[in-house]
Amino acid sequence: MGMTGVGKSSFIQLFTPDTVGVGDDLESFTTQVAIFPCKMPNSDESFYLVDTPGFDDSNRPDQEILRELSSWLTKTYSENIRLSGIIYLHRIIDVRFSGAAMRNLSMFKKLCGDGNLASVVLATTFWAKVDEKTGREREDQLKTTPAFWGNMVNRGSQVFRHDFEEQSGSSIIQYLLDRRDKPVYAIQDEMVNKKKTLEETAAGSEVQAEMDKMRRKYEQMIVDIKQEMQEHLKNRDEAARQALEAERKEREEFIRRELEERKKMQAQADALWDQREAEREKERQEHMRRLEAMQKQYLEMQLQAAKAKTDAEHQRRLAELQKQIEIAQVKNEALERSRFSVRAKSFVREFVDFFR
Ligand SMILES: Nc1nc2c(ncn2[C@@H]2O[C@H](COP(=O)(O)OP(=O)(O)O)[C@@H](O)[C@H]2O)c(=O)[nH]1
Ligand SMILES: [Mg+2]
């Protein structure tokens, strides 16, 4: 887990031949949890790594990210699949915690709870981009400040450095694989054992409180905007009035989405999962339609290109489309990977075999 750009996908890519989707072009692909079958380098030991979206996507409200994470964490738990641990990544080059970084960390803590923290690895990345002394000072600050990692370290969480190389990644994996206990994280206990709705959990109520604040702010803004619009109407300033009208619509759309999200959070684990599956299925179908349309367009352009071979602009557009199709195909794989049923079944089988 961790913010966008901390190196989650790069970490996973060290252990799997599958395309994880590292970096900008593919970044938006990690909008859902994705499971990767992995292998330890130089050994047959296999394990699964799970890529997750961070709470910092400006296009998706935090509630949606929380629904995705918690539906996955609770589904696995209720199917008796236990995680070995959670790895939380943070970039050592980041001088201070931004608002989004703090929110991310705080949500992470709420999801985990206070127990089982020895099965949580807190790792810093991007060591090549910082000098040793500065890095060490920042790492110390992370470890000793309770609001950062301090309180988790005190309860047993392990701090690692990951330098983008297989070696440091392997040490982290080995540490978690060697732990034979089966952690139960707060969100799993609250939703599966205690049958709370997502809204009633610690993580859920925190997200909801944040969103409430935001909604109240937006509601006040809409009142102000309406007043201002009246003034512009009086002064016959049509351009200014239209600009405000657009802003008002945007705020109202946020409030509408927020209320919709709020309703979705009033679900218990099973309903949350069904909701997720229905949303994902819709997304998969829409994506397939887009991909097919692009492929059709590509074929048509290729035909035209055969007729007009010299047209450089045409060639450029063809190449551009080809690239988009490639990206869309990787996304397709990503969408497949987020499907729980197929993967989880083979996962459970291997898991059972492992302990036999
Ligand atoms: N220098 C350096 N670059 C890294 C490291 N980890 C990731 N990157 C780069 O940072 C960018 C974002 O990494 P990515 O794995 O996609 O981050 P994610 O958003 O957490 O999945 C990519 O361009 C990576 O190549 C690291 O430890 N050091
Ligand atoms: Mg990623």
> How big is the chain by its Cα radius of gyration, in Å?
23
Does some domain include residue 290? yes
- Distance, CA of 109 to CA of 187 (rounded, Å): 10
- Are 73 and 161 contained in the same domain? yes
* Residues in Cβ contact with 176 at an 8 Å cutoff, skipping those fewer than 6 apart: 84, 85, 87, 119, 121
- Distance, CA of 169 to CA of 132 (rounded, Å): 19
pTM of the predicted protein model: 0.82
Cβ 87 vs Cβ 286: under 8 Å: no
Ligand 1 lined by 128 (C-beta under 6 Å): yes
Question: What is the per-residue pLDDT for 325?
Answer: 87
Going by alpha carbons, the residue nearest to atom 13 of ligand 1 is 7
Does some domain include residue 255? yes
Segment 267-274 shows an average pLDDT of 96
Cβ 155 vs Cβ 114: under 8 Å: yes
Range of the domain at 317: 272-355
Checking if the pLDDT of 57 tops 80, the result is: no
Segment 177-182 shows an average pLDDT of 88
- Are 150 and 205 contained in the same domain? no
- Distance, CA of 250 to CA of 171 (rounded, Å): 47
Does some domain include residue 2? no
Distances, alpha carbon 256 to alpha carbons 197, 259, 260, 261, 275, in Å = 21, 5, 6, 9, 19
Segment 134-139 shows an average pLDDT of 95
Segment 70-94 shows an average pLDDT of 95
CA of 6, closest atom in ligand 1 = 20
Question: What is the per-residue pLDDT for 346?
Answer: 54
Does some domain include residue 85? yes
- Are 240 and 318 contained in the same domain? no
Ligand 1 lined by 10 (C-beta under 6 Å): yes
Does some domain include residue 178? yes
Boundary residue ending a domain (226, 242, 264): 264
Q: Residue 180 forms beta bridges with which residues?
A: none
Q: Which two tokens stand for residue 105?
A: 């960390």
Distances, alpha carbon 46 to alpha carbons 36, 37, 202, in Å = 11, 7, 33
Q: What CATH number does residue 83 fall under?
A: 3.40.50.300
For 246-293, give the DSSP string: HHHHHHHHHHHHHHHHHHHTT--HHHHHHHHHHHHHHHHHHHHHHHHH
Does some domain include residue 311? yes
Highest mean pLDDT among 51-60, 247-256, 268-277: 268-277
Checking if the pLDDT of 91 tops 90, the result is: yes
* Strands of 283-342, DSSP E: none
Checking if the pLDDT of 311 tops 80, the result is: no
Ligand 1 lined by 99 (C-beta under 6 Å): no
Question: What is the per-residue pLDDT for 90?
Answer: 96
Checking if the pLDDT of 298 tops 90, the result is: no
134 confidence band (pLDDT: 50, 70, 90): very high
Pairwise pLDDT comparison (26 vs 235), residue with the higher score: 235
Does some domain include residue 1? no
Boundary residue ending a domain (264, 280, 295): 264
Cβ 188 vs Cβ 72: under 8 Å: no
Q: 6 CA to middle of ligand 1, Å?
A: 6
Q: Of all helices (H) and strands (E), which one includes residue 124?
A: strand 120-125
Q: Of all helices (H) and strands (E), which one includes residue 87?
A: strand 86-91
Q: Considering its fold, how many domains does the chain have in total?
A: 3
Ligand 1 mutation target, pool 6, 8, 10, most atoms within 8 A of CB: 10
Q: 337 CA to middle of ligand 1, Å?
A: 21
Going by alpha carbons, the residue nearest to atom 22 of ligand 1 is 23
Residue 27: is it exposed, middle or buried by C-beta count within 10 angstroms (0-12/13-18/19+)?
A: middle
- Are 100 and 210 contained in the same domain? no
- Are 76 and 217 contained in the same domain? no
Cβ 33 vs Cβ 24: under 8 Å: no
Q: Residue 238 forms beta bridges with which residues?
A: none
- Are 163 and 309 contained in the same domain? no
- Are 14 and 93 contained in the same domain? yes
> What is the CB neighbour count within 10 angstroms for residue 227?
10
Q: Which residues surround ligand 2, an ion (CB under 5 A)?
A: 8-9, 30
Q: 164 CA to middle of ligand 1, Å?
A: 8
Going by alpha carbons, the residue nearest to atom 27 of ligand 1 is 126
72 confidence band (pLDDT: 50, 70, 90): very high
Closest CA to 190 of 110, 256, 119: 110
- Distance, CA of 238 to CA of 95 (rounded, Å): 45
Boundary residue ending a domain (247, 264, 281): 264
Question: What is the per-residue pLDDT for 349?
Answer: 52
Does some domain include residue 348? yes
CA of 125, closest atom in ligand 1 = 27
Segment 26-41 shows an average pLDDT of 79
Q: What are phi and psi of 237, to 5 degrees?
A: -95, 85
Going by alpha carbons, the residue nearest to atom 11 of ligand 1 is 23
Checking if the pLDDT of 355 tops 90, the result is: no
- Are 189 and 60 contained in the same domain? yes
- Are 185 and 212 contained in the same domain? no
Q: Which two tokens stand for residue 225?
A: 């905007």
345-350-353 Cα angle (round to 5):
125
Q: 245 CA to middle of ligand 1, Å?
A: 40
Pairwise pLDDT comparison (211 vs 92), residue with the higher score: 92
Cβ 100 vs Cβ 3: under 8 Å: yes
- Are 233 and 128 contained in the same domain? no
Buried b (16+ CB within 10 A) or exposed e, 89-109: bbbbebeebeebbebbbbbbb
- Are 152 and 252 contained in the same domain? no
- Are 256 and 307 contained in the same domain? no
Q: What percent of the chain has pLDDT over 90?
A: 56
Checking if the pLDDT of 83 tops 70, the result is: yes
Q: 322 CA to middle of ligand 1, Å?
A: 25
